[in-house]
Amino acid sequence: MSLLVIMFSLLLAIFSYSLLKYLIMRKQGHRLPLPPGPKPWPIIGNLPHMGPMPHQNLAALARSYGPLLHLRLGFVDVVVAASAAVAEQFLKIHDANFSSRPPNAGAKYIAYNYHDIVFSPYGSRWRLLRKISSVHLFSAKALDDYRHVRKEEVAALALKLASSRARPVSLGQLLNICTANTLGRVMLGRRVFSDGGDGSHGGDPKADEFKSMVVEVMVLSGMFNIGDFIPALEWLDLQGIVSKMKKLHQKFDKFLSDVLEEHKRLMNKSDDQKQTDMLSTLISFQSEEGKLTDTEIKAVLLNMFLAGTDTSSSTVEWAMAELIRHPKILAQVQQELDSVVGKDRLVSELDLPKLTYFQAFIKETFRHHPSTPLSLPRIAAESCVINGYHIPKGSTLLVNIWAIGRDPNKWAEPLEFRPERFLAGGEKADVDVRGNDFEVIPFGAGRRICAGMTLGLRMVQLLTATLAHAFDWDLPEGLTPESLDMEEVYGLTLQRLVPLTVHPMPRLSNNAYQGSI
């Protein structure tokens, strides 16, 4: 019975595809050509071309067909920007036309059916959610008000590492706990996890589960789900992606529902006390005109905990791996930190602008290891023309941020990790990472640029500077810097295939660690 249903669905899909293709070709008879790209297969189109590492495969296709690609994924037109110049056309010149998101399973089944900031359709509700988060969490004043929280949580991590007594630690897990607790204190007024024990996988079980859930969400959301591109097959869930998303959503929803209800109870018990955390602010908007629903509040919290923890922690993990692989770069970073900060205290955020070489190193990390290798998809509201090619209405746009950072037409020896390229006299001395210079856009650009970019930058810089300054790093026995595995796992965020396990060795005076909490 089920086999007959599948066969019928496939035949229906074939017929629909053929009819749709015929109608499109007739309608586009006198239009400009579509961008070049590989020939699609029947029905599934170019889905086989994506492979397990879509960002790498699309970069290879761009080398053959050019920096503006057209693919047909199932029944969906997809255009890929793989150079800074093409990305600027989409995200700056035609930004208004590409300000909304296409339908996708992740937004539907994980992100509360498009009620969050990341996947919400462009419109009044998205602008309201974006404004609330921008003013109350990511504004310059809000970031300065919570500087002490970041300082205390990073110092707690440094103390934990200094107390590990050269035992191997899973650095990514501890970084995830640190970023989650930092966000928790800002958003909820409290930490959400314990400090992770000794960092050797024996810490807070809830933190371990949370990290695995976050990674699974990023992996699933980064997969090209057949049902998103061939709607007739969506109900079959051929890859099992939707069922896994639904189970994950249930876990996250329970976690967030408990957090929301507990916070409301605490607020009711302390009406005379001013609540300064973000969740209290969101709850207060429920009594105003255009009020937020519980679902929208949970969706915003989900965005913050997913995007705000994994992107920062994974970027810092990549940064530390590069420092370990390049001892000369680490020595130069440490020399600059010692000259600016000294050895009797930890780095503060006020030190960061004075660290010229370190800032260049961070830019090179973002170029080499963008946390989001393929931008979150956007959709064309109307047809338009880019570089002389027709971009159909309803096309999905993907910007290959990973490929742009490795474009040999823009970067000398792009596969080399070389911070000097961002120093005075270097090839890209004036390039920034905040969305205005399209050679390096780890946070995206335009209207849908990452809402938490400024916070993410501060966390990545403070965490990396503290770890580089406060410790020397050894690898487990049998590993050398040259043999360190740098393979990637594709997802919405770019994870390390092999988590970074290291031996931290304190290099500052004892009171630098004890006196920072």
**Tokens read off for 164:** 């590990």
Pairing label, strands 76-81, 396-399? parallel
CA distances 285 to 15, 135, 322, 338, 410, Å, are 49, 13, 44, 46, 46
The structure tokens listed for 298 are 């949970």
The number of helix segments (H) and strand segments (E) in the chain equals 19, 11
Q: Which amino acid is at 203?
A: G
Look-up of token digits 């650009």: 445
- The tokens of 72 are what? 């047909």
Q: Which residues pair with 100 in a beta bridge?
A: 379
Query: What's the chain's length in residues?
Result: 517
Query: What's the sign of the alpha-carbon dihedral 501, 306, 432, 396?
Result: positive
Alpha-carbon Rg for the chain, nearest whole angstrom, is: 24
Return the exposure string of 260-295: e unless at least 16 CB atoms fall within 10 Å of the residue's CB, then b: beebeebeeeeeeeebebbbbbbbebeeeeeebebe
Instruction: Report the b/e string of 190-207 with b at 16+ CB within 10 A.
Output: ebbbebbbbbeeebbeeb
Instruction: Name which of 53, 51, 20 is nearest 38 in CA terms.
Output: 51
Tokens of 148: 């002490």
Q: Is 384 a known ligand-binding residue?
A: no
- Tokens matching residue 394: 């309803």
Q: Are 280 and 260 in contact (CB under 8 A)?
A: no
Helix, strand, or coil (residue 170): strand
Cβ distance 505 to 473 under 8 Å? yes
DSSP E strand stretches across 19-97: 68-73, 76-81
Per DSSP (E only), the strands in 343-393 are: 378-379, 384-386, 389-391
Tokens in use for 30?
Answer: 């006198």
- How far CA 269 is from CA of 187, 263, 277, 454, in Å, comes to 19, 10, 16, 34
Residues placed in the known binding site: 450
Residues placed in the known binding site for heme: 450
